[in-house]
Amino acid sequence: MSLCIRNGNIIDGEGIVFHNKDILIKNNLIVDINTNLAHKADRIIDASNLWVLPGLIDAHCHLREPGFEYKEDISSGTASAAAGGFTSIACMPNTLPAIDNAAMVEYIKKKAATQGIVRVYPIGAITLGREGKTMVEMGEMKEAGAVALSDDGDPVVDPNTMRLALEYAKQFGLLLISHCEDKSLVAQGVMNEGYMSTLLGLKGISRAAEEVMVARDIILSEITACPIHIAHVSTKGAVDIIRQAKSRGVPVTCETAPHYFSATDEWVEGYDTNTKVNPPLRTEEDLVAIKEGLKDGTIDIIATDHAPHHRDEKEVEYDMAASGISGFETAFSLSYTHLVETGILSLEELVAKLSSIPAKILGIPGGVLKAGLPADITIVDINREYEVDRDHFYSKGKNTPFHGKRLKGKIAYTIVGGKIVYDEEDAK
């Protein structure tokens, strides 16, 4: 079976943009990028007026399997990822049991190979059971296929454990991803601490809860010269700390998630529990700083932090509701609408933050369209406006504060290894 993507505008992920060219795919691989290739293919996708991108790569998501299949599983999660344009995703280990040993890493990989429709890269835990005490067997987990380590969902509370983890992880060539949250500063907080939390009578979470831990982990990264990746950056202060660290050469990288540049704590008014997320939605000032950080490169990548939950876990009082946003299926559109349409990033810069840079940070293939490489491709219609409808999500998690919002830029096709895994025409 051969496939030709005809007459598209192609971003190759290495700095070249081709206009009105064809991509020919055979045996799962890209074999040529040129003009007039359509006659060589069995099937043709007409990409006129569309953009053809290296498959999007998500460095941070939650597939919930095993243990929480009522929220999401590998089958529904990867279908959701495909609908969001993602061809490769890295899933966090806060499952039950946690992904904290080689057998669990292999289990996820095997399940993903048989039931998943996009490439799944497991992230292993840093400590057994994500309890922050005993380090995992890093070497065995690396060998089994873990691409990074994180206790995401919880911080590694003990600084010395974090320091040792950084040193061990470096020896094994594993990236450490830090969920920066000082639980004692969070206390009983459920939303950002400030004017809105006072107005709404909800307990606030100080920005300091995030920033104290970002500062700690950067200091540990600096003294050990070990790389660290900071997950879901949400505050102006955290962006400033990371910017300063990068300027003095600390090996730190970081991500933000689309909701931190698309929504603020004002959205909590009305107590919609779909606005509850950890770290919480911040203020306009933070949102502006996140956009500046994306623009000047302080924030390396955009990750979804796709965190699906069951309806029952959100249809409760705000204080009691689970934290998280079902993020795969709105990530590209939110990013395009709020970053590219507003002139903060070019489309090429956005694609780098959603594809080639996450590939580099995780050390996985992808992010480039070139003859000889696997055909992992995302095709988008940047002119298409639509209304977000969570009832059409492929994810089991319908928890999004963006339901009913009008966004621009829609995924048309997602192709993994030459196989069309999402076609908007057939979408539900």
| Residue 152 CB, nearest approach to Zn ion (Å) | 4
Q: Contact with Zn ion (CB under 5 A): which of 142, 179, 243, 314?
A: 179
What are the Cα distances from residue 424, in Å, to 83, 331, 381, 394, 410?
Answer: 8, 16, 10, 12, 9
SS (H, E, C) 280-309: CCCCHHHHHHHHHHHHHCCCCEECCCECCC
Helix (H, G, I), strand (E, B) or coil at 54: strand
| Residue 307 CB, nearest approach to Zn ion (Å) | 8
**Distance of alpha carbon 274 from alpha carbon 267, whole angstroms:** 10
**Residues 192, 198, 201, 203: what is their CA dihedral angle, to the nearest 10 degrees?**
40
| Residue 210 CB, nearest approach to Zn ion (Å) | 10
Please provide residue 239's backbone torsions phi and psi, each rounded to the nearest 5 degrees.
-60, -45
How many CB atoms are closer than 10 A to CB 48?
A: 9
**Residues 238, 241, 244, 247: what is their CA dihedral angle, to the nearest 10 degrees?**
-60
**Distance of alpha carbon 277 from alpha carbon 227, whole angstroms:** 27
SS (H, E, C) 117-149: CCEEEEEECCEHHHCCCCECCHHHHHHHCCCEE
Q: Which is nearer to Zn ion, 28 or 206 (CB)?
A: 206
Query: Smallest Cα–Cα separation from 382: which of 21, 6, 8, 4?
Result: 8
| Residue 231 CB, nearest approach to Zn ion (Å) | 5
| Residue 3 CB, nearest approach to Zn ion (Å) | 37
**Distance of alpha carbon 46 from alpha carbon 42, whole angstroms:** 13
Q: Which is nearer to Zn ion, 6 or 207 (CB)?
A: 207
Q: Contact with Zn ion (CB under 5 A): which of 100, 152, 286, 313?
A: 152
**Distance of alpha carbon 318 from alpha carbon 41, whole angstroms:** 54
Q: Which is nearer to Zn ion, 179 or 398 (CB)?
A: 179
Count of residues in contact with Zn ion, rule CB under 5 A: 3
Which residue, judged by CB position, is nearest to Zn ion in the bound state?
179
| Residue 64 CB, nearest approach to Zn ion (Å) | 14
Q: Which is nearer to Zn ion, 179 or 229 (CB)?
A: 179
| Residue 299 CB, nearest approach to Zn ion (Å) | 15
Looking up tokens 């929220």, which residue turns up? 71
Q: Which is nearer to Zn ion, 179 or 291 (CB)?
A: 179
Q: Establish if 329 lies at the interface with Zn ion (CB under 5 A).
A: no
| Residue 337 CB, nearest approach to Zn ion (Å) | 24
Q: Which is nearer to Zn ion, 13 or 324 (CB)?
A: 324
Which among 25-33, 75-83, 176-184, 209-217 is the span making contact with Zn ion, rule CB under 5 A?
176-184
**Distance of alpha carbon 362 from alpha carbon 377, whole angstroms:** 19
Please list the alpha-helical segments (H only) found in 172-247. Answer: 183-186, 195-200, 208-224, 236-247
Element (H, E) at 410: strand 406-416
Q: Which residues form the catalytic set?
A: 305
Q: Which is nearer to Zn ion, 179 or 396 (CB)?
A: 179
61, 351 contact by CB (below 8 A): no
Interface positions with Zn ion (CB under 5 A): 152, 179, 231
